[in-house]
Chains A and B, each alone.
Chain A
Amino acid sequence: MTTILDPTDERVPIRRALAARHGTVTGTVALLDIIKPRGDVLLDRLEQLLRERLPDVAFRRYRKPTFTKPAPLELRRRIAEECGFVIEALAD
């Protein structure tokens, strides 16, 4: 019998349930630009189309300081507090 040692970090990932789906969009939607080239073009067009379809919904724009690193905690906290939905433009 061979014994080997585990090369991984041995952590069990936390499973999180998806947020409940209500079938409707209400409140405020975050549009997050990670500042990759032309990400703003995509978000502009998306916002325009969504405003036509969802006149009662508010849209708020956010930007990451750099696309090379995860969004800072403060930005994530602000989006979570201010919005019920988030759309992120990866633009890749």
Chain B
Amino acid sequence: MRLATALLFASLVVGCANSAIAPRAVPEPWLAWQAPLGREDALVGRILDTEQRRFVTPADVLSRARGSAFVLLGEKHDNPDHHRLQAWLVESLAGAGRRPAVVFEMIPRDRAAVLEAAIAAHPDDPDALAVALDWAHGGWPDFALYRPIFAAALAARLAIVPGDLARAQLAQMRLRSLDALPPAERARLALEPPPSDEARRAFADEVREAHCGMAPEAMVDAMIAVQRARDATLADALLGSGESDGGVLIAGTGHVRRDRGVPLYLARREPQRRVLTLAFSEVPAGSVESKQDPSLRAAEFGTEFDLIWFTPRVDDEDPCERFKHELEKMRAPKPAPQARWRSGYTARVAAVPAFRLLDTDARAHVWPSGRARLLVFAHAGCPTCELTLPIVEAAHEAFGTVLDVAIVSQDDDGGRALREKHGLRTPFLDDSALTVSFGAEIDAVPTTVLLDAGGEELARYVGFAREDWRALFERMAQLAGTPAPARDWSRLPELRPGCGSRTNDPEVAARFEARASSSPMRARRIELGDADDPFEFLFDQGLTDGLPVVPPTPERVMRMLEGTRRAAQDVVAEVAPNYAPATVEKIAINAVMAGCKPAYLPVVIAAVEAICTPEFNLHGVLATTFFPTPVLIVNGPIRARIGMNSGINCLGQGNRANATIGRAVQLVVRNLGGGRPGEVDRAALGQPGKFTMCFAENEERSDWAPLHVERGFAREQSTVTAFAGGAPNGFIDQLSRDARGLATSYGLVLQAANHPKHYLHGEIVVVVPPEHVDTFKRDAFTKDQLRARIQEVTSRPLRELLRDDVCAEGLPDELLAKLGAEARVPKFRTPGDITLVVAGGEAGKFGAYFQGWVSGPLGSVMTTRAIETDEGSSG
């Protein structure tokens, strides 16, 4: 979601302006500025060479452009003078014998075929290109502004090249950031290495400034990623344009910065080719120095561009005010589905997918069919759909011989009732299964889509707008080569809001997203018979821990996957004992079965990572006949965000997060790793923690550093720590009133862990309850003091701990020679083996410990992993 919003922001700052200008580039635009404001400023028309700190002439600019392989022209999109200057340069370069390709940021790379066909058909008509590219709905300022550049390029027969990321790629990047690009492609585009910390900070500041300080901090990195991918793609278009004589780039100013824009990627890939960057800059508003000598003001500008050409400005509107206004509109609560209105909505990502649908007469309609097509998605009960139907019928009558016109019905009856009610002849295609509606990302009805014979979407309108339909009739007439029929458009209402698409029903949406071919899910689908009870089926297949599990339907798994930013097919770890690859998707499936909410998934993923490290040694933990199982301790801000229990009864039942996170990890071990009791799981007795054992530390309840901070993480970092522990053993001290006495009790209790003569124990986890915390705090007892006292209290002469006839358990005789009979041996190998965690209810002077197993490099070592969340790894 973060990227999606980022892209919206990006398109918002593009802005929009309408300004008609001369149809051809004028020879010298600076003789007749078109932007109205600031013309009196002495800087207007001056061109600053930022390195020489002096002003140069247009002839100098042309001379330098002629000597450069690539000329990057940075514009403010809505300023007509910027485009006229760009056109002048393109025309002048061609006039001087250069043959550069002209690369446009405004054209996505997936429109290359459409563009090529349009140029072939209309080699001298820039307006035909605008129609073919559907410029009016691309989110850019009026085509009239850009027309002179296209006209100049066409007149000189220069190649016109799309420069922006393909729309499908952008859609992927919304979801997966730069990970959407395969590593080989990232390398080819020279996206590695990423920016240095310093460059990243500067980049981030620029992003924040560009968004008027309103970009959510968590989105900044994603925005940088998209910006970098765009810059690298623009550079790629310049390099790969097929023109040996270099290229001219038409793009926003930010893209042509020398330090981090397109020039960076050109330099990485072809450092020997010369690049000239020229930014067109509006003179600032309200400039008190406007009459001063421009030379004195040259120092105000940095060296991000080789040249800066100053022009008048379009308006004095504060771009931040406009941005805030747009943002407020975006953030306003969405109207109820029945009142949705988004005229001119064109943020298309998915085109209409190929389909074969039956109409109400059971005739098959196939797309693509080699013919242009008008599709209107609709359902009954939507007044705006009913208003639209007669117009669709008129389109069918007027253009039906050359253009396939159809209603795509979302109704269960395939539109039969609606068609009869209005007595229509237009075919109604049965999309009651919603697959086409879903694939075409229909958000509201009616949605009207015009497609050309090649499959390109030419227009898409949502709701009803009279002017949209009037324009559509003209477009269809153009396509059909017939005049548009006369209609009295004035009898129709100007605007009517659309209604919610049936695909927006939450359950339906998830189901179809899961089914769509773009679904990230790859797991085998198991179809259960109608007579099969899914709960019983899952028991029968041995896929549960003995309690019922939630059936992992694709819809539920899809929803679960929304809990993480990681790609579904990322392999998180290999799970013992079968060392099966655990993808995010497989973990999500098991998390669904365990009953997790999507928000818990990052914790489950981090826990799986932790238990699958060589140090944790899950294989041994499973295979032993002893008691251990992963005991999971969660720290950091995520505890509160997902409602984990660190208080009363936190080691017990009743909290969904505690219960299901631990259970999900156990199901991953069972179902993916193959760790099943009686097979590789050889536990003699086992213990209830093997269903689930996960709790949170009550970090706020003590002054002690919490577990993750002791283990080297920042306090605000969320982590999960895995410990191979037994079941919790409770102990009592209700009478100690001072810290030392209480610590003595801890020592006496812990001496018996595993066995009173089982010494040189490795790691152990001791849970300290709040009432004990208070007693320790009263005497300012530190964790280290408590650990030291435990070691002191438990120390015994070696002779008491040896194996003997009274008790065969104990330390081996070999130690006698090494240490001597009177050597005092502490219970734990080192004080650091004693892990102290604060948790539990406010009342009750009862602690607990989780006994360890063989610990250290030959057994299992406690392992902590950071939890990645939407707030970044700092979550």
Residues of chain A whose beta carbon lies under 8 Å from any beta carbon of chain B: 1-11, 65-66, 68-70, 92
Contacts and interface: CB of A to CB of B under 8 A. Distances in A.
A30 B532 CA distance: 51
Leading 10 A-B pairs by shortest Cβ distance: A9-B580, A68-B620, A66-B858, A6-B524, A5-B523, A7-B671, A7-B589, A2-B528, A68-B859, A5-B552
Contact of B581 (A5, A7, A9, A68): A9
B71 interface: no
B665 interface: no
A10 B527 CA distance: 15
25 contacts: A2-B527, A2-B532, A2-B551, A3-B553, A4-B526, A4-B552, A4-B553, A5-B524, A5-B557, A7-B552, A7-B589, A7-B590, A7-B672, A8-B671, A8-B672, A9-B575, A9-B578, A9-B674, A11-B580, A66-B854, A68-B617, A68-B853, A68-B854, A68-B858, A69-B620
Contacts of A69: 617, 619-620, 858
A15 to B, nearest CB: 15
B624 A9 contact: no
A8 B672 CA distance: 5
B358 interface: no
A8 B625 CA distance: 25
Interface in B529-588: 529-530, 532, 534, 537-538, 543, 551-554, 557, 575, 578, 580-581, 585-586
A5 B553 contact: yes
A23 to B, nearest CB: 31
B526 A5 contact: yes
Contacts of A92: 625, 682
A3 B624 contact: no
A5 B521 contact: yes
Given A3-B553, A10-B523, 9 more contacts: A1-B529, A4-B537, A4-B538, A6-B589, A7-B552, A9-B575, A11-B580, A68-B620, A68-B854
Contacts of B79: none
B593 interface: yes
Contacts, number: 88
A66 B625 CA distance: 15
A29 B165 CA distance: 66
B860 A68 contact: yes
A5 B528 contact: no
B373 to A, nearest CB: 32
Contact of B554 (A5, A66, A68, A70): A5
B530 A1 contact: yes
A63 B524 CA distance: 42
Contacts of A8: 543, 580, 671-672
A65 B854 CA distance: 13
Contacts of B860: 68
Contacts of A10: 523-524
* Interface majority SS (helix, strand, loop, mixed), chain A: loop
B667 interface: yes
Nearest to B581: A9
B812 to A, nearest CB: 9
Contacts of A9: 575, 578, 580-581, 586, 671-672, 674
Contacts of B619: 69-70
Interface residues of B, number: 44
Contacts of B532: 2
A3 B527 contact: yes
Contact of B624 (A11, A65, A68): A68
A6 B859 contact: no
Contacts of B586: 7, 9
Contacts of B523: 5-7, 10
Interface string B472-492: 000000000000000000000
Nearest to B682: A92
Nearest to B667: A7
Interface in B572-629: 575, 578, 580-581, 585-586, 589-590, 593, 617, 619-620, 623-625
Contact of A5 (B525, B617, B854): B525
A10 B551 CA distance: 17
A5 B584 CA distance: 13
Interface in B649-684: 667, 671-672, 674, 682
Nearest to A37: B812
Contacts of A2: 527-528, 532, 534, 551, 553
B635 to A, nearest CB: 27
Contacts of A65: 858
A10 to B, nearest CB: 5
Nearest to B580: A9
Contact of B528 (A3, A6, A70): A3
Query: A6, A7, A69 — which one has the most chain B CB atoms within 10 A of its CB?
Result: A7
Nearest to A36: B625
A10 B583 CA distance: 12
A3 B530 contact: no
Contacts of A68: 617, 620, 623-624, 853-854, 858-860
B801 to A, nearest CB: 16
Contacts of B527: 1-3
A77 B534 CA distance: 45
A37 to B, nearest CB: 9
Nearest to B674: A9
Nearest to A70: B619
Contact of B525 (A3, A7, A11): A3
A3 B524 CA distance: 10
B626 to A, nearest CB: 10
A67 to B, nearest CB: 8
Contacts of A7: 523, 543, 552, 586, 589-590, 593, 667, 671-672
Nearest to B614: A69
Contacts of B625: 92
B530 to A, nearest CB: 6
Nearest to B575: A9
A65 B580 CA distance: 25
A1 B553 CA distance: 11
Contact of A3 (B526, B585, B853): B526
Query: A1, A6, A66, A70 — which one has the most chain B CB atoms within 10 A of its CB?
Result: A6
Contacts of B525: 3-6
B853 to A, nearest CB: 8
Contacts of B528: 1-4
Given A65-B858, A68-B858, A69-B617, A4 B521 contact: no
A17 to B, nearest CB: 21
A73 to B, nearest CB: 13
A6 B538 CA distance: 10
A62 B457 CA distance: 72
B396 to A, nearest CB: 37
B79 to A, nearest CB: 53
A7 B723 CA distance: 25
A72 B523 CA distance: 32
Nearest to B593: A7
Interface string B442-458: 00000000000000000
